[in-house]
Structure 1
Amino acid sequence: MKPTTATAALVLALTLAHHASIAAAAGPRVIIVGAGMSGISAGKRLSEAGITDLVILEATDHVGGRMHKQSFGGINVEVGANWVEGVNGAGRMNPIWPLVNSTLKLKNFRSDFDGLADNVYKENGGVYERAYVQKRLDRWGEVEEGGEKLSAKLRPSGQDDMSILAMQRLNDHLPNGPTSPVDMVLDYFKHDYEFAEPPRVTSLQNVVPLATFTDFGDDVYFVADQRGYEAVVYYLAGQYLKADKSGNIVDPRLQLNKVVTEISHSGGGVTVRTEDAKVYKADYVMVSTSVGVLQSDLIQFKPRLPTWKVLSIYQFDMAVYTKIFVKFPRKFWPQGKGREFFLYASSRRGYYGVWQEFEAQYPDANVLLVTVTDDESRRIEQQSDNQTKAEIVEVLRSMFPGEDVPDATDILVPRWWSDRFYRGTFSNWPIGVNRYEYDQLRAPVGRVYFTGEHTSEHYNGYVHGAYLSGIDSADILIKCAQKRMCKYHIPGKFD
């Protein structure tokens, strides 16, 4: 018997409703884990390609990840990324620079390190003679030139790679490593201050020459805008996520305080579970967490990631770079041109060595910044802020014995290493790694895709690396989702 028109319409409506419920249950087409620079960048690229059916799950209460401002001493300071590095070159432009300087017009200042030779302080007060420090700096320049020539001769496979320290020894530079306070602090400034790890573990081939400065220019600009450096991430997010007039993201596709604990994947799709017992299903997932998180047990993959993927994750270092802000009731340190950066030449390498004052950036704030890294960062994270404050004041009183150095009134100590959502600040490529390991680190596993500054072959550790990696990883996913080009080929290490 033929159904009546009304019955047919009811059947059609029920069928459509059934398919709609299935579609709703299936969730978004893509889940992005993490709303830092790389995750937001990937989402923007996916949206531009027409993949707008997505949800972003962010573990914290904010967008930006390791680009994050915090109120301190009456001003907003950056606890994470602070500089646009690689500016004013003759060739390509750092993609972050026009966003900061032209689009958003964030307040920024060129960092001038030229006066450093005048500002290296002795352990017991006073400064070293400029001529002596400059001679040591000139020698460092000669060694770096030798390192560049040596690096250019190494095979691209990485099999000839060596540490920065080994290169220094080959150039007859401090064959037993730096031992004098001046040599130690200059070595620290040249290497640890940039890569957050010492020369003995940093790859020559991957950092000499450093692609960021070779490609984009040698200048670096300190972002000191009260909107925060994170404003760049919010701006990019606002290109495809609904935002209010203040720039706050109000799009329901961005979900904050969602801690991803499990990612199940199969040929049919992915299922993501969060700490609050929510379940999200999609066709694909893009994981933009730090490599430190991937090395931890925060997220369980089911089935487990293949051995080649796990090995690539564990080969990379998650370095720790800690910017400690200290506020005083008054200024007692030198100011003026050429005084922004100064060094403390301790007999203990890396002990509160690199300082920055903010006469231009934060006038009248009476705030100093001291940077520590690696083992010192981990040590400081495990002690009280009061103990750290006392150590810092003791160092400053040693540096300026003729000044009445007051007690600090406040201190801000970020704890990136202890934070389960980061486990450090940025990645550092170890010795012997080349394009092959990078390809493995970035390569998808079935429907699980990966992005982040650690997947940027040439710019890992930098904001522009995170931004560009989001685009690159999104393009890989787009090829699979829209063009059915899902095979990701990794050439052999020695090809």
Structure 2
Amino acid sequence: MTHSELSDINTAVAIVGAGLSGSAAAHHLLRQGITDMVVLEAGEQPGGRVRSRVIAGVPVDLGAQFVGPSQTSLLRLLADLGLSTIPMHKAGRDVVHYDFAYDHAQLDRFVSALTDVGSAMDLTTPWHHPDAEYLERLTVNEWARALGIRDTAVLAFISTTVEMFISGSGDTVSALWFAYFVAAAGGWQELSGGTLDARVAGGVQQVALRIADVLAERIRLRSAVTLLEHNDETVSLTTEDGTTVTAERVIIACSPSEVARIRFEPTLPSARVDLDAKWTMSAGMKFAIAFESPFWRELGFSGSIFPSRTSPVGAVIDNTPTDGAGPGVLIGFANSRRFASAQSSQRADRAHIVESYVHQMFGVSAPAAIDYVEHIWADETWLSGCMSPNRPGTLLDSWPSIRNAIGRIHFAGTETSDHFNGYMEGAVRAGQRAADEILTADDRDVNVVRGGFRAT
């Protein structure tokens, strides 16, 4: 439901956020027979950081997209919802647009050090790594230089890789955070290959939309939570329009930056407040450009373009329908730094920059584009960003509080996951973990009703 005539609701479980993590939590509870719940979504539609659009008649994802074979929780959820995946096209030559040739031995040294840190890291408690304090003082590139890496092209490559995966520069992102991010994704090879294996047929937003259809009147859109009052017996949530939801338990399924927007009474413990206040989010941009056909395949190219530090856009990847019939579609990423240097304040300017870049990279007199779509995540009212490029010195002391329940308040969101943190897999795992916390709560503390939705 969007807005009910009812001004106050009583329920067993309230979920804040209908993104992938909140949707996964709701789905998990429903499968266990828990139907007495309300999902409160601040935005106009379910999905959060997943957003599907149509370009040249075919679906494309302008938010989170990629699925890897080891992302088992997400794959099971897709199967439960009757959704399937499409392998990403990889045949052909990649275009590698680096400014200079780089020293492979120096890059190997960095990857080896990164792997060693990840191997010694307990993903459930990365803050206990023996070198955690040292790595948290350094940016990724400062750490690389401390390892003896001097090749400027290698440093640029590392920084571009950091930007590609977590939308932050190697000169600003914490070395500890990046090492954890890579380890949580299965390591460097998995990060750069396996995590980009497939996409969801028809668009990944179908996950949230299908779960919302099942929830029916139990989901409320345009219902941003502004106040959360909690005690030993209940949780009371007030939305922006004045609706009050009283629940026995609540799952907050959003990033720490969004948690910081909610006023809590009483105030959350200082470590949690500090975590939410200092958490960094980056709002990038994703685009798709379509041509009459995937002309690059005929030229022997894969469609993948890996950028240099000075490229006007980030990585570009083939997103053409499986059989290659119909339009050829490329997706890509950008941020304010890249587009600002290209003076692209207007959508038409950005479309022209992307089209020109594609033509330049494939080195041919390519056909004109037939369609272009984009989503600038900084324009979202209720989302602080898509990825978490946390800076040095901001995380270590408060990080252990990230997934700890506080009384009847439970936390989800991909940022709380100990595996595939920042990915859709992490979001699903976190939502299911928070739901399980409620399902296993002592009956003396919570009376979760297995039955119909109730409102008063």
Provide TM-score, normalisation by structure 1.
0.73
After superposition, the C-alpha distances for 1:207-266 in whole angstroms (9 at most, x for unaligned) are: 43522225995523221512x22334456x3xxx8xxxxxx3353212233232332333
Aligned to 2:184: 211
Q: 2:114 aligns with which of 143, 147, 152?
A: 147
CA distance in 2 between partners of 1:190 and 1:232 (Å): 29
Q: May I ask how many residue pairs the two structures share in their alignment?
A: 425
Q: For the Cα contact (< 8 Å) 1:327–1:411, is it kept in 2?
A: yes
CA distance in 2 between partners of 1:211 and 1:54 (Å): 31
Work out whether 1:29 is the aligned partner of 2:12.
yes
SS class of match (1:371)? strand
SS class of match (2:186)? helix
- Paired letter, 2:133: Q
Aligned to 2:222: 257
Structure 2 CA distance for partners of 1:480 and 1:422, relative to 1, 3 Å? same
Work out whether 1:73 is the aligned partner of 2:56.
yes
After superposition, the C-alpha distances for 1:315-360 in whole angstroms (9 at most, x for unaligned) are: 32213342211234566545466523123446x2x53132223445
Work out whether 1:106 is the aligned partner of 2:73.
no
Give percent identity, aligned residues only: 20
Q: After the TM superposition, which residues 9-24 of structure 1 pair with which residues of structure 2 at under 5 Å, given as runs? A: none
Q: After the TM superposition, which residues 256-295 of structure 1 pair with which residues of structure 2 at under 5 Å, given as runs? A: 256-295=221-260
Q: Give unmatched runs, 5+ long, in structure 2.
A: 1-6, 122-127, 447-456
Q: For the Cα contact (< 8 Å) 1:332–1:403, is it kept in 2?
A: no
Q: For the Cα contact (< 8 Å) 1:197–1:374, is it kept in 2?
A: no
Q: For the Cα contact (< 8 Å) 2:141–2:159, is it kept in 1?
A: no
Structure 2 CA distance for partners of 1:355 and 1:215, relative to 1, 3 Å? closer
CA distance in 2 between partners of 1:468 and 1:168 (Å): 32
Aligned to 1:18: none
Aligned to 1:12: none
Deviation at 1:308, TM superposition (A): 2.2
Q: After the TM superposition, which residues 415-454 of structure 1 pair with which residues of structure 2 at under 5 Å, given as runs? A: 415-431=376-392, 437-454=398-415
SS class of match (2:144)? helix
SS class of match (1:426)? coil
Aligned to 1:160: 134
Q: 1:97 aligns with which of 64, 69, 75?
A: 75
Q: 2:426 aligns with which of 465, 470, 485?
A: 465
Q: For the Cα contact (< 8 Å) 1:324–1:411, is it kept in 2?
A: yes
Q: 1:474 aligns with which of 431, 435, 444?
A: 435
Aligned CA-pair RMSD: 3.7
Work out whether 1:327 is the aligned partner of 2:298.
no
Q: Give unmatched runs, 5+ long, in structure 1.
A: 1-23, 124-131, 242-247, 486-495
CA distance in 2 between partners of 1:114 and 1:394 (Å): 21
* Bigger Cα displacement from structure 2, 106-115 vs 378-387: 378-387
Aligned to 1:488: none
Aligned to 1:391: 353
Structure 2 CA distance for partners of 1:55 and 1:320, relative to 1, 3 Å? same
* Bigger Cα displacement from structure 2, 312-321 vs 28-37: 312-321
* Bigger Cα displacement from structure 2, 354-363 vs 215-224: 215-224
Q: 1:231 aligns with which of 206, 213, 230?
A: 206
Work out whether 1:192 is the aligned partner of 2:188.
no
Q: For the Cα contact (< 8 Å) 2:317–2:330, is it kept in 1?
A: yes
Q: For the Cα contact (< 8 Å) 1:70–1:78, is it kept in 2?
A: yes
Provide TM-score, normalisation by structure 2.
0.79
Q: 1:54 aligns with which of 37, 55, 69?
A: 37
SS class of match (1:272)? strand
CA distance in 1 between partners of 2:96 and 2:315 (Å): 10
Structure 2 CA distance for partners of 1:78 and 1:137, relative to 1, 3 Å? farther
Q: For the Cα contact (< 8 Å) 1:264–1:303, is it kept in 2?
A: yes
- Paired letter, 1:160: Y
Q: Larger Rg: 1 or 2?
A: 1
After superposition, the C-alpha distances for 1:82-108 in whole angstroms (9 at most, x for unaligned) are: 1113x26xxxx6322344479735241
